[in-house]
Amino acid sequence: MKSPSTLQIALGVSVAIHAVLLTVRFVDPERFNRIFQDTPLEVILVNAKSKERPDVAKAIAQASLAGGGDADKGRATSPLPPSALTELGDASDDAQRKIDAMQEQQTLLLAQIKKALASMPPPDPKVPTRDAPQAEREEKRKQLIKILAEIERRINEENARPKKRYISPATREEVYAVYYDVLRRKIEEKGTVNFPEQAGKKLYGELTMILTINFDGRVLSTEVAETSGNLTLDRRAQSIARSTGPFGPFNEAMRRKADQIVVVSRFKFTRDETLETKLTERQ
């Protein structure tokens, strides 16, 4: 058998090299990196399968997952729809009880730290500073003093803040209900007598206002939470609420629990040229 010539060998090698090169695809490295930058993929675990494939994949998963929760923006963290949030009872009362419980725990912790510090023996100058038990004891003393200072700082800050009480339709205490009823009647009477006008025309509409009343009965602030759509009417309503005060001072029972009360009320200027107010929930 005749052995291939050098030319034939060279031609064979050339064909093989060209065949390999034809299978290789050259891509702009910047464009290649941009693909991954513009379409980031994350690896997540899912707990449900679907035969339906997503139009645009946003994550790599071990199975297709159609839907993947209910989210207005981005990707939900759960395939289940969000559960409705409900509040039972007087939420404001529950929140106050939690605050009271936390304050009791804080006071108890403060007493325990003071007791622990009092029970520790004072440092003995005769004992070398390198003595391990004394060094450990002094380190513990420093930590307790640091915690004590932090708790006292928080208590002072909390005591400096005015205690606010939000009055809602679910408020059960009679003292607050009676106080609000007096407040409501005075504002309604003032608004009916001084019914808002503009250029000789009566202004009708509804708005929601937040009133903050100080313990001495002064109106500290008025804020329109939901406008009537008429800026003049909103301002007149605020003026009516402010000019109706001051209301009566808080009685002793109210004062123990609050320095200020916050009332969210619906103001309705009716076609009968009367002002009607109705207590509502916070916006």
Name which of 82, 83, 60, 57 is nearest 72 in CA terms: 82
Q: What angle do CA 144, 159, 282 make, to 5 degrees?
A: 125
Look-up of token digits 């004062």: 255
The 10s digit of each residue's pLDDT in 208-259 is: 999 999 999 999 999 999 999 999 999 999 999 999 989 999 999 888 888 9
Quote the pLDDT of residue 27.
52
Query: How far out from the chain centre does Cα 254 lie?
Result: 28
The pTM for the full model equals 0.50
Q: Among 77-81, 143-147, 156-160, 252-256, name the one with the lowest average pLDDT.
A: 77-81
Q: How far is CA 158 from CA 147, 162, 229, in A?
A: 17, 8, 39
